Structure formats: structure tokens, C-alpha cells
Amino acid sequence: MFTQMEYNGVSDLSLHQDPITGLHAIIAIHSTALGPAIGGCRFIEYPTTNDAIQDALRLAKGMSYKAALAGLPHGGGKSVIIKPNKPFDRTALMRSFGCFVEQLNGRYITAMDSGTLTTDMDVIAESSRWVSCTSADGDPSAFTSLGVIEGIKAAVRHLFGKDNLEGIRVSIQGLGHVGMAVASHLSMEGAHLTVTDINTQRMRIAIEEFNAKAVSTEDIYAADVDIFCPCGLGAILNHKTIPLIKAQIIAGSANNQLLEPQDGYALAQKGILYLPDYVINSGGLIFVALAHANEDQQTIYHQVLNIGHTLTRLFTESQASGIPPFILANQQAEAILANAASLSKTHQRSIV
């Protein structure tokens, strides 16, 4: 376990079980150098507890990088509630999880993620102050999708020299809250869509509302498009899928899109512009952090628009240095975190 924590750079891993409600929950904190760790709570089924822990560790690291490059005063954290495979009381489960979050005394702020709802955050808020995305705050997916669109526009300007998305061909993998919102935005901007999802009803909606072409989950990688937009599961860019991809740009909301770091290099060698996932999908985290700080919608909106500027800067630096954007993003995030940690240690020494 400690080896896994060290590999992901995670400083704290907390496990909690409540025999009364059946809660089995995990909170991973990657860093608090910039401020309290922040990140969503997943409520999904896992084959094993170790799979759930691995998910939390991996995602917590991504949240630290995401917060750092978004300029947020937060470190990265992630929580997982393992969904029971037997009948359970959802309200009791979430209330118990809130008590778990509260025990960390503000070192971790939770929010919506896969499998959780604003109503779940309302219940968690009954027993913890450290929660965002309640019904009063709203759903972050609209801001996640806005950031993805801004990232796509930045990539299209950089690679194709176009200031609009008219006629751009985009394949979307996953039509959940964010994927469907991205599809809607792109359709309104005049893009031609190819979509896939395991839910056939969602595909029918995309066909009817956005005039999209539907393909199987296996065929989405080889779609003849300009942009591949992964908005579902992570680890979908790997040695099996990369050879199939025809798109010149990969820009989507999914977390941890690269199975391994070398897959990012494989994309670069193939001449594909890969937008670092934790940069392009940071709109949701920006919303979560600023909503928790009681910022207004206009402030949140303008900070999400900066995602396009951040990516444009990475593209320019990549072109000048020959270093892929995802490596530059990693280096810059790590430098921000290291500097913050150094300042924190200096401050602690001065107090002593």
C-alpha cells in the first residue's frame, strides 16, 4: 500500500467503514501545499477494494495538478464510496460519509463525481462543512463542458488556424452529463458529430437532437474525424487504441486518459495534439472550489474561460521547445507544488 502511495505521491490515505450503514469509504490526499485538498466523491461499484484504492490514489494526484495549473488555492484529493452490492440506505450512507469527511477537519473538501448527485452533497452537508456542489451550489458539469469547448477552440486555432468550429468533425466517447453538454455546444457551433455510448438511449438523443452519427464503442477510435473527444472512462489511450486513431487532436473531459505516460509520447510521435486532460477538464474543479468560496457565477465563468489561454500557452511553449504539452503541463504543475511545499516548510521553521 505504501508503495502505491509513494508511486502516486499521495501523502495521506484514510479508510473508513461503518458497520451500521455498510459504508466502505476511502479518502486520498495528494497534497495540501497550496491549501486544503479538494476533489469529488465517486460512488460506483469496484471489483475489489484495492481497485477502489488505486482509483482514489491516481485521481488525487490528477486533482493536485489540475488545481495547480488552474491557479486554485487547493491541493488535490479524491474520495471513493464503494457502492454496496446489496440493498442499502443511500441517505444513511451519505450522512455517515459526511462524518468521515468532517473528521479530517477541513484537510479535504468533497464534491460531486461519478455516481453522486447534488442531493447526496446536501446529505453530506448535514454532517460536514467541507462539501461543495450542494443543491444551492449546482452541478459542475456545465462548467466542465464549457472548459472542454474552450480547449477545443484553442486547439483548432493552433492547429487549423480557424476561429470557429464550423465543419469540424468531432467524435465523442461517452454521453453522460458532460459529454452530452459538449455535444450540444459543438452542434450549435456547426461541428459534425460522431458519437458512442453504452447507453443506446443517449445515442438516440444525440442522433435526433444533434444530427450525430452513432458508432459502436469499438469503432469510435477509428472514426474519420478531426478531433477525438473522450468524455467517459479513463485509460482509453493505450497501445491498443492509439494505432487506430485518425484524429489530429484529442481533447476531452475524461480523467486519466493515458494508460501509461509513454502513451503520451506515442501520440506525439504520431503527430497527434493531445490536450492534457487535467487542464482541459478543470472547469468542474474551478466551479467546485470557487462555489465553496462563495464566488459569484460571473467570476467562475471568467476563470473557466482561462482554460483556453492556458492551453494556448502550452501549445506555444511546446512548439518552441519540442516538448509535448502533457509533459510541459506536468513539469509546471510539479514546480508549482514544489514551490508551495518549500514555502510552507520555510514558514513552519520561522514559527518554530
Which pLDDT does position 345 carry in this prediction? Answer: 57
Gap between the Cα atoms of 304 and 144, Å rounded: 8
Burial 182-202 (b: 16+ CB within 10 A, else e): bbbbbbebebbbbbbbeeeeb
- Residue with grid cell 502550452, as numbered in its chain: 314
* 178 among annotated binding-site residues: yes
pLDDT at 343 over 80: no
Percent above pLDDT 90 for the chain? 93
Q: Does domain 2-63+76-124 have CATH number 3.40.50.10860?
A: yes
Q: Write the pLDDT tens digit of every residue in 18-49.
A: 999 999 999 999 999 999 999 999 999 999 99
**Which pLDDT does position 347 carry in this prediction?**
40
The reply to whether 101 sits in an annotated binding site is no
Q: Which of 61, 78, 162, 213 is catalytic?
A: 78
Specify the pLDDT at position 113. 93
Integer angstrom CA distances of residue 9 from 3, 68, 134, 292, 335: 10, 15, 30, 26, 14
pLDDT band, residue 225 (cuts 50/70/90): very high
**Model confidence pLDDT, tens digit, residues 253-310:** 999 999 999 999 999 999 999 999 999 999 999 999 999 999 999 999 999 999 999 9
Classify domain 141-326 at the CATH topology level.
Rossmann fold (3.40.50)
- Ordered by start, the domain boundaries in the chain are 2-63+76-124, 141-326
Residue 177, annotated as binding a ligand = yes
pLDDT tens digits, 52-70: 999 999 999 999 999 999 9
Residues recorded for the chain: 352
Look at residue 269 in the predicted model and tell me its pLDDT: 98
Task: Reply yes or no on whether 240 is catalytic.
Answer: no
Which has the higher per-residue pLDDT, 1 or 16?
Answer: 16
Is residue 71's pLDDT more than 50? yes
Average pLDDT over residues 336-347: 77
Residues with Cβ within 8 Å of 221's Cβ and at least 6 positions away in sequence, in order, are: 228, 241, 244, 245
Residue 210: is its pLDDT beyond 90? yes
Give 352's pLDDT tier (boundaries 50, 70, 90): very low
* Whether residue 348 has pLDDT greater than 60: no
- CATH fold match for the domains 2-63+76-124 and 141-326: yes
Residue 344 binned pLDDT confidence (cut-offs 50, 70, 90): low
| Section 233-261 average pLDDT | 97
